[in-house]
Structure 1
Amino acid sequence: MKTYKRILIIIVFSQFCCTTLWFASNAVINQLISNFNLSHNALGHLTSAVNFGFIIGTLVYAIFNFADRFSPSRVFFVSAVIASLFNLACILDFNTLSTLLSYRFGTGFFLAGIYPVGMKIAADYSEAGLGKALGFLVGALVLGTASPHILNEFSSAFSWKLVFILTSILALLGGALMQFLVPNGPYRKPIAKTDVKAFITVFKNTDLRKAAFGYFGHMWELFGFWAFIPVMLVSFNTANPAAELNVPVLSFTIIAMGTIASIVGGYISEKKGVKNTALFALAASFLCCLLSPLFFRSQSVFAFVIFMCFWGMVVITDSPMFSTLVANSVSAKNKGTAITIVNCIGFAISIISIQITSLLIDLVSSSYVYMFLALGPLFGLLAFKIKKLNKQKV
């Protein structure tokens, strides 16, 4: 048990270090726009580039079953090294929007060997209590994606390039820790050769489809919310000049609240059940989407901040739950492939959400734009009501 706890701590910390790469460009978007003469739509494009790279990466990793064929810790390490180099390339002085998009795409591609592979490694060490383990792991992801915002605030006296440098160093550290301190888990069952059909055949599983649809609805909302948190805060400041919200610090706080929620959700799932915990969080975030105009138009800074922090918690709580349902719905030899392909489709959906939200910001009042995100949670909730998908108890 002591060995398991030590290994889980290393996995969680490594995941945190490597996922700081994800939102590095979001944290310094104003500096990137200024230095490279980018348009105001660059935020949505750069965020989508990372997610698109992640989609293609997860597709490649899933088709070739990398995490199920090879040592997942080694896959994690190699991916972390390459992703950190792509991330670091963003500081080059001759960058344009095209080069930045290509570097962010590359970063996202190799994040496919970090986030889902980290969950695969955790699954290899967890025969029971996987929901709690993945709660910690997703909590690390949340804290990692939030960190660039706070790094930008604390490095304001220095060059914006420091954010990219520090996140790349953290990714290298996380990869090295995973490679040298986390051996293959006791429940790992490697496959001898590539099974190209595996990434399709796993969807014949009824329980996996049900969990996947819930995850897809969650992803429609999650990145649409995360990516535009700074925009939401700036809009509130503009409408309420006296508010003077610190955008970087509050952006970090709102996203980082999801770390606490993911961990607490993992413990709750052991008592209330993984599916029930996931659906409760999904319903809560659905309500946040619908109620968002009331708080965006509010004159109360306190009410707005509390609402945003609560939304930051419930928007991510269901993520480890759905991933647990996916992992538990397939055999041990296909866990890596199943988690990876579900992530692939989920992030593809997130790109559509981000791009549409980016367009709506120019067309619709900022107070009402984010109600659009409610479509995702609604879909996920309805998926669990379809009898055909609800034959087996989870």
Structure 2
Amino acid sequence: MTSINPPKFVLPVIVIGQFLCTSLWFAGNAVLPDLVKNFATDPNLLANLTSMVQFGFIAGTLSFSLLAIADKFPPSKVFFICALAAAFFNAGICLKINDVAFLHLFRFLTGFMLAGIYPVGMKIASDYFKEGLGKSLGFLVGALVLGTAFPHLLKTLTANFHWEYVIYTTSFLAIIGGAMIAFFIPNGPFRKAGQQLRFNSFLEGFKNAEFRAVAFGYFGHMWELYTFWAFLPSILLSYQTRYPDANLNISLLTFLIIAAGGLSCMVGGLLSQRFGAKKLATIALLLSGLCCLLSPLFLFTDYTMVLLAILFFWGLVVTADSPLFSSLIAQHAPEASRGTSLTIVNCMGFALTIVSIQVINLLSKQLNSQYLYMILGLGPALGLWALKQSPKK
């Protein structure tokens, strides 16, 4: 096959666009302390707010998959339209509303539109890069991680301003990101548009044993990832409560720990070209699983620097396998339904995040918090088992 080298600006534009748009993901979490003041009657606001974004994303990815949106229509246009809509719904939580149901609705709709951003961004990258896809997705998923962390940094930088500034800023950035993709990234040279609408096309990838193995590895990874991110501020706040002298800047540390995962995504993508995506994904999954199992030892340590060092390490390894799994899924998906396959796997993975978040939230009221996060180790254990069953060693 003749090698096709895309223009050098393509990958940076996709990465920056993805970063700007995915800053919407945890925008609500970043301003949660301010929202709690308005909705103090909801004791589960953290879990419910995060779950509604995830639930919206699931509904969106399921709809996009069934309709084969990313394969039927130009993905750059899909990305742009969804970015505009997501920015609008994200800003909706700034309305003067007294009913928490409307808050959840706006976060659900934001998540729904993110289904046309994250997996579609990966589809766009796979349409441009056949060789070195792992490296490309490493930068792309790294952008997602940085975008997820960014609202926490905004909250730190705008501490003296009203919380709405965080929301309006992320919405504005999402519009810019969507416009960048629409105006500078046309259809890629490897794009193969779906020829007809088939409601069972999203299942085609699962007929391949290797696709199934890496998909279930991804599911195990997702059980841990977003719950760790969602409860990270709570972990730091709980430590601060036990050790007031620690004097932690929770918003800044949350940003730095999550953002560190963006670096590991990029490095993992680069290393995958030499060592193989599956091997590196297995190592990262094993290390993050160990962090879950060993969490009772370091979450209650008297040494703040030990806690922070291990949380930073956990932040690195918990995301390092994200682009590797995405690359493996894209490689083993049918060409004509690659976008749909990526989208449905994302859908199923994010469905697991809701279960995980709600399980941790429920057990936090029943279980000694020292042992709470060991439950996240179930995901990596499942993922490692699935990868071991893979027909390609």
Deviations 1:287-311 (A, max 9, x none): 0001111111101111111100110
Q: Which moved more, 1:186-195 or 1:273-282?
A: 186-195
Deviations 1:118-138 (A, max 9, x none): 000000011111111000001
Alpha-carbon separation, structure 1, partners of 2:325 and 2:358: 24
Does 2:117 align with 1:110? no
For residue 384 of structure 1, give the secondary structure of its aligned residue in structure 2: helix
Deviations 1:91-140 (A, max 9, x none): 00124210011000000001000000000000001111111100000100
Deviations 1:178-234 (A, max 9, x none): 000001101101112212110122211111100100000000000110000000000
Q: Which residue identity does 1:364 align to in structure 2? A: L
Question: What is residue 138 of structure 2 aligned with on the other side?
Answer: 135
Note the 1:377-392 alignment, pairs <5 A. 377-386=380-389, 390-392=390-392
Does 2:28 align with 1:10? no
Q: Which residue identity does 2:163 align to in structure 1? A: W
Does 2:191 align with 1:188? yes
Q: CA deviation at 1:332?
A: 2.1
For residue 165 of structure 2, give the secondary structure of its aligned residue in structure 1: helix
Partners of 1:32 and 1:38 within 8 A in 2: no
Question: What is residue 217 of structure 1 aligned with on the other side?
Answer: 220
Q: CA deviation at 1:2?
A: 7.7
Question: What is residue 179 of structure 2 aligned with on the other side?
Answer: 176
Question: What is residue 314 of structure 2 aligned with on the other side?
Answer: 311
Q: CA deviation at 1:3?
A: 4.6
Q: Which residue identity does 1:275 align to in structure 2? A: K
Partners of 1:4 and 1:125 within 8 A in 2: no
Q: Which moved more, 1:29-38 or 1:142-151?
A: 29-38
The count of residues paired between Structure 1 and Structure 2 equals 390
Partners of 2:203 and 2:341 within 8 A in 1: no
Q: Which residue identity does 2:74 align to in structure 1? A: S
Q: Which residue identity does 2:104 align to in structure 1? A: L
Alpha-carbon separation, structure 2, partners of 1:310 and 1:392: 29
For residue 12 of structure 1, give the secondary structure of its aligned residue in structure 2: helix
Alpha-carbon separation, structure 2, partners of 1:24 and 1:246: 18
For residue 222 of structure 2, give the secondary structure of its aligned residue in structure 1: helix
Partners of 1:275 and 1:321 within 8 A in 2: yes
Query: Which of 281, 289, 306 does residue 278 from structure 1 map onto?
Result: 281
Deviations 1:27-63 (A, max 9, x none): 0111001023342310100000000000010000011
For residue 4 of structure 1, give the secondary structure of its aligned residue in structure 2: coil
Alpha-carbon separation, structure 1, partners of 2:334 and 2:53: 30
Superposition TM-score, scaled by structure 2 size: 0.97
Partners of 1:284 and 1:314 within 8 A in 2: yes
Note the 1:17-28 alignment, pairs <5 A. 17-28=20-31
Alpha-carbon separation, structure 1, partners of 2:25 and 2:333: 28
Q: CA deviation at 1:271?
A: 1.0
Q: Which residue identity does 1:199 align to in structure 2? A: F
For residue 169 of structure 1, give the secondary structure of its aligned residue in structure 2: helix
Deviations 1:64-114 (A, max 9, x none): 111111100000000001111110000001242100110000000010000
Query: Which of 198, 201, 211 does residue 201 from structure 2 map onto?
Result: 198
Alpha-carbon separation, structure 2, partners of 1:324 and 1:352: 25
Does 2:339 align with 1:333? no
Does 2:384 align with 1:361? no
What is the aligned-residue RMSD (CA, Å)? 1.1
Query: Which of 373, 378, 390 does residue 376 from structure 2 map onto?
Result: 373
For residue 159 of structure 1, give the secondary structure of its aligned residue in structure 2: coil
Question: What is residue 36 of structure 1 aligned with on the other side?
Answer: 39
Partners of 1:235 and 1:366 within 8 A in 2: no
Query: Which of 71, 76, 83 does residue 74 from structure 2 map onto?
Result: 71
- When residues 77 and 167 of structure 1 are mapped into structure 2, their CA distance, relative to the original with a 3 A threshold, is same
Does 2:243 align with 1:240? yes
Does 2:160 align with 1:160? no
Alpha-carbon separation, structure 2, partners of 1:241 and 1:363: 25
Q: Which runs of 4+ in 1 moved over 4 A?
A: none
Alpha-carbon separation, structure 1, partners of 2:152 and 2:209: 40
Partners of 2:205 and 2:332 within 8 A in 1: no
For residue 364 of structure 1, give the secondary structure of its aligned residue in structure 2: coil
Partners of 2:333 and 2:341 within 8 A in 1: yes
Query: Gapped runs of 5+ residues in structure 1?
Result: none
Partners of 2:301 and 2:307 within 8 A in 1: yes
Deviations 1:326-382 (A, max 9, x none): 100023221101100000000001100000001111112222111110000000001
Superposition TM-score, scaled by structure 1 size: 0.97
Alpha-carbon separation, structure 1, partners of 2:5 and 2:158: 38
Question: What is residue 252 of structure 1 aligned with on the other side?
Answer: 255
Partners of 1:187 and 1:332 within 8 A in 2: no
Partners of 2:52 and 2:107 within 8 A in 1: yes
Q: CA deviation at 1:268?
A: 1.1
Question: What is residue 127 of structure 2 aligned with on the other side?
Answer: 124
Alpha-carbon separation, structure 2, partners of 1:263 and 1:229: 22
Q: Which residue identity does 1:359 align to in structure 2? A: L
- When residues 215 and 41 of structure 1 are mapped into structure 2, their CA distance, relative to the original with a 3 A threshold, is same
For residue 124 of structure 1, give the secondary structure of its aligned residue in structure 2: helix
Alpha-carbon separation, structure 1, partners of 2:42 and 2:298: 29
Alpha-carbon separation, structure 2, partners of 1:271 and 1:2: 20
